[in-house]
Amino acid sequence: MTKTYIMLKIKSAASASGFAYYVTQDNSKARYPLPYGRASTKGKGDALLAKANQEETERQETMAANKADRKARNADGLREMTEQIHKVGCILYTSWGYEQTNVEFYQVIGTHGKRGVIIRQIAKVHTDDTGPYSGRCKAAPGEFVGEPMRKTITAGGIRMASYSNAWPADHGKSYHYSWGY
């Protein structure tokens, strides 16, 4: 693992009361280095620099630990999602839209590799009306309405489009949809 630290340095500048010592980022590309703090004497400036470097080191280590934790959680989520979806016959659903809620269902018809699936859109059955422009629907397994698609399982389900993911559907559950207000 590569550790990257932002180096801090002391820069002295004349002020009305003599010299002031500033601790700033040592970044030659920065047009205006980010100031960390100011001290009135060189000794206080050195102490401020040591404190700033310690805090930066702790911040970088915390960020690295958080990244490792996120990777572990993502791996667990991916493993769990793969176990649920990577089966022929699994029913998936998407729910997306802003002023209308679109629900679509898909069925896994094949698998390829460790995380790959071949899915096909299936029909939905209207179960009841919940309002003037809304209702509930269920999946109709085996009633295919779309062409087969190859997709990859991720920790967040299967990415169908930039605005929707597909997740495992609960068997027999009806899902809410609407078509305008």
Confidence category of residue 5, pLDDT binned at 50, 70, 90: very low
- Tracing tokens 């016959």 back to the chain, one arrives at 89
Residue 158: pLDDT band with limits 50, 70, 90: very high
CA angle 68, 71, 76 (to 5 degrees): 130
Is the predicted pLDDT of residue 155 greater than 50, yes or no?
A: yes
Instruction: Report d(CA 50, CA 22) in Å as an integer.
Output: 13
Higher-pLDDT residue of 82 and 150 is: 150
Higher pLDDT, 105 or 171: 105
Structural contact between residues 107 and 90, judged by C-beta atoms closer than 8 angstroms: yes
More confident residue, 5 or 150: 150
Which of 29-43, 80-94, 97-111 shows the lowest mean pLDDT across its residues?
Answer: 29-43
Whole-angstrom Cα distance, residue 99 to residue 155?
27
Q: Classify residue 74 by its DSSP letter.
A: H
- State residue 4's pLDDT score: 44
